[in-house]
A and B are shown apart, each in its own frame.
Chain A
Amino acid sequence: MSEPLLLFDNVVKRFGDFVAVKRMNLEIGKGEFIAIMGPSGCGKTTTLRMLAGLESPSEGEIRLDGRVMNNVKPHERDTPMVWQSLALFPFLNARENVEFGLKMRGLDAATRHQKALTWLDRLGMSEFAERDISTLSGGQKQRVALARSLVTEPQILLLDEPLSALDAHLVIRMQSVLTNLQRELGITFVYVTHSQSEAFAMADRVVIMSNGEVAQVGQPKDIYRAPANRFVAEFVGRNNIISGKVKSASKGKAVIDAPSGSYTVTADAMPKPGAEATFVISADLVRVTGSKPKAENAVAARLISEEFIGSVVTLFLESGDGTEFKVQVQERELATLDLKSAELLWLSWPAASAHLLPGG
Chain B
Amino acid sequence: MTLDRAVTWVLRAWAGVVFTFVFIPIIFSLVFSFNSQRFPTIPLGEFSTQWYQTILADPDVWQAALTSIIVAVCTSVLATFLGFCTAYSDYRYNFRFKGAYLALILLPPTIPLIIMALAMLAWFSRIGASGEVWSIIAAHTVLTAPFAMAIIRLRLNQMDENLEAAAWNLGASEWATMRHVVLPFCKPAIISAACLCAAVSFDEFAIAWFVSGLNKTVPVVILEIVTGNIDPQVNAIGTFVFLTSMTLVVAAQLLFLARTARGTKQGAGT
Touch between A and B in complex, CB under 8 Å? Answer: yes
Cα distance, A75 to B175, chains bound together (Å): 11
Interface residues of B in 131-178 (CB under 8 A from A): 160-163, 165-174, 176-177
CB B178 to nearest CB in A, in angstroms, measures 12
A155-210 at interface with B (beta carbon < 8 Å) = 162, 164-167, 170
Q: Are A54 and B268 in contact (CB under 8 A)?
A: no
CB closest residue in chain A, given B186: A91
Annotate B229-270 by CB proximity to A: 1 below 8 A, 0 otherwise.
000000000000000000000000000000000111011111
Q: Out of A85, A90, A101, which one reaches B171, CB within 8 Å?
A: A101
Give CA–CA (A189, B222) in the complex, Å: 70
B180 located at the interface, meaning its Cβ lies under 8 Å from any Cβ of chain A in the complex: yes
A86 lies within 8 A of chain B by Cβ: yes
- A20 lies within 8 A of chain B by Cβ: no
A104 touching B176, Cβ below 8 Å: yes
A105→B171 contact, CB < 8 A? yes
Beyond A85-B160, A87-B160, is A104–B172 a contact (Cβ under 8 Å)? yes
Return the chain A residue nearest B261 by Cβ: A134
A132 within 8 A of B: yes
**Distance (whole angstroms) from the CB of B18 to the closest CB of chain A:** 40
Shortest Cβ distance from residue B46 to the other chain A in the assembled complex, whole angstroms: 55
- Which of B170, B173, B267 touches A85 (beta carbons < 8 Å)? B267
- Tell me if A90 and B262 are in contact (CB < 8 A): yes
Q: Does A133 have its Cβ within 8 Å of any Cβ on chain B?
A: yes
**Interfacial residues of chain B within 23-42, with CB under 8 A of chain A in the complex:** none
A197 shortest CB reach to chain B, Å? 18
Chain B residues near A89 (CB-CB < 8 A): 163, 166-167, 181, 184-185
Please pick, from A53, A75, A90, the residue contacting B173 in the complex, using a CB distance under 8 A.
A75
State A132–B170 Cα separation when bound (angstroms). 20
Q: Which of A54, A84, A101, A165 contacts B170 (CB 8 A)?
A: A101
Interface majority SS (helix, strand, loop, mixed), chain A: loop
Chain B 47-83 near chain A by CB (<8 Å), digits 1 or 0: 0000000000000000000000000000000000000
Q: Would A148 and B168 count as touching, CB distance under 8 A?
A: no
Number of interface residues of B (CB under 8 A): 29
CB neighbours of B184 from chain A (8 A): 89, 91-92
- Bound complex: CA A149 to CA B170 (Å): 7
B270 touches A138 (CB 8 A): yes
A137 and B269 form a contact (CB under 8 A): yes
Asked if A229 is an interface residue, CB under 8 A from chain B, the answer is: no
Q: Which of A74, A79, A92, A164 has the most CB of B within 10 A?
A: A74
Contact between chains at B169 and A74 (CB < 8 Å): yes
* Contact (Cβ within 8 A) B162 A100: no
CA distance A230 to B269 in the complex (A): 36
Known: A104-B176, A137-B270. 20 other contacts (CB 8 A): A73-B173, A75-B176, A75-B177, A81-B169, A83-B166, A85-B162, A89-B181, A91-B184, A91-B262, A91-B263, A103-B180, A104-B167, A104-B170, A138-B270, A141-B268, A141-B269, A148-B170, A165-B267, A165-B269, A170-B269
Binding site for A on B (CB under 8 A): 160-163, 165-174, 176-177, 180-181, 184-185, 187, 262-264, 266-270
* A–B pairs, 26, beta carbons within 8 Å: A73-B173, A74-B165, A74-B169, A75-B176, A83-B165, A83-B166, A85-B161, A85-B162, A87-B160, A87-B163, A87-B165, A89-B166, A89-B167, A90-B266, A91-B185, A92-B184, A100-B170, A100-B180, A104-B170, A134-B263, A138-B268, A138-B269, A141-B266, A141-B268, A142-B268, A166-B268
